[in-house]
């Protein structure tokens, strides 16, 4: 069975990571929306670096949870051909044993040179003085608002051939990820939303399972 899985911040909530739009989330303070844009980075690179330095330190202190582990186990199941796409910019899926994870919003664990496009493992603390070998300034290798998500061709192909599309722990607010359920459904796939509560896209899913991901994801994978 060909399964496309999309995860969001909710899958990591029980690892202690916090989410973006839940109460007290990373996005509650409007300035944070400025932080996740190229304009915000141009205006105040030090503030953006500080935000990602905090999140990079946070993920190092967190462990993958039972939901990440269950998805890694599903990828080992010969009966399932899994394409795992995440909006998350951390490495909890990889640390749980998942492989070939598609990071459509990039990863803050990699640095990107604004001049030559070189990428390298991000230092734990990036600053405005972090430089590429070419001398160019460095930014986190993440996709900000207004920027084109990574690997969209590969994700689009997987969605149109999927038997099942599953969204886990995402509010369904940010596009193009929020539109994946419609692409999959129009291609004839079954659709399942696994979330703490109905997302913005809940009515577009054929089925749903509500509750904490550490319970609902292992139950679904079993």
Name the residue nearer to ligand BV8 (CB basis): 13 or 126. Answer: 13
Query: What CA–CA distance (Å, rounded) separates 170 from 177?
Result: 9
Asked whether residue 53 is marked as a ligand-binding residue, the answer is no
Report how far residue 76's alpha carbon sits from residue 205's, in angstroms, rounded to the nearest whole number.
26
CA–CA distance, 177 with 201 (Å, rounded to integer): 11
Interface residues toward ligand BV8, by CB under 6 A: 8-10, 13-14, 19-22, 25, 36, 87-89, 105, 142-149, 152, 169-171, 173-176, 195-197, 199, 212-213
134 binds, among Zn ion, ligand BV8, none (CB under 5 to 8 A by kind): Zn ion
Distance between CA atoms of 71 and 98, rounded to whole angstroms?
Answer: 7
The nearer residue to ligand BV8, 83 or 170, going by C-beta atoms, is 170
Active site residue 105: yes
Q: Is 125 annotated as a binding residue?
A: no
What is the number of alpha carbons within 13 Å of residue 60 lying toward its C-beta?
12
Long-range contacts of 93-100 (CB under 8 A, 24+ apart): 93/7, 93/64, 93/68, 95/63, 95/64, 95/68, 96/64, 96/68, 96/69, 96/71, 96/72, 97/69, 97/72, 97/73, 98/68, 98/71, 98/72, 99/75
Single out the catalytic residue among 68, 93, 105, 108: 105
Q: Is 76 annotated as a binding residue?
A: no
> Which of Zn ion, ligand BV8, none does residue 157 bind (CB under 5 to 8 Å by kind)?
none
Residue 113 binds Zn ion, judged by CB under 5 A: yes
Of the residues 1, 46, 57, 116, which one makes contact with Zn ion according to CB under 5 A: 116
Residues lying near Zn ion in the complex (CB under 5 A)? 113, 115-116, 118, 132, 134, 136
- Residues annotated within the binding site are 52, 55, 87-90, 113, 116, 132, 134, 169-171, 195-197, 213
Query: Annotated active-site positions, please?
Result: 105
């Amino acid at each position: 069975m060909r399964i496309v899985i999309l995860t969001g911040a909710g899958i990591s909530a029980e690892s202690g990571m916090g989410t973006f739009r839940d109460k007290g989330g990373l996005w509650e303070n409007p300035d944070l929306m400025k932080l996740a844009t190229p304009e915000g980075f141009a205006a105040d690179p030090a503030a953006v670096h500080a935000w990602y330095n905090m999140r990079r330190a946070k993920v190092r202190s967190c462990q993958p949870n039972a939901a990440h582990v269950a998805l890694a186990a599903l990828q080992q199941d010969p009966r399932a051909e899994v394409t795992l796409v995440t909006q998350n910019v951390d490495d909890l899926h990889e640390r749980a044993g998942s492989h070939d994870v598609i990071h459509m919003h990039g990863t803050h664990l990699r640095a990107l040179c604004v001049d030559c496009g070189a990428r390298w493992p991000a230092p734990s603390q990036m600053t405005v003085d972090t430089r590429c070998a070419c001398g160019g300034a460095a930014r986190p290798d993440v996709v900000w608002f207004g920027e084109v998500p990574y690997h969209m061709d590969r994700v689009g192909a997987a969605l149109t051939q999927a038997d099942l599309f599953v969204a886990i722990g995402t509010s369904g607010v940010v596009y193009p990820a929020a539109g994946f359920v419609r692409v999959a459904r129009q291609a004839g796939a079954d659709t399942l939303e696994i979330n703490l509560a109905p997302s913005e896209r809940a009515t577009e899913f054929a089925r749903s399972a509500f509750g904490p991901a550490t319970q609902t994801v292992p139950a679904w994978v079993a």
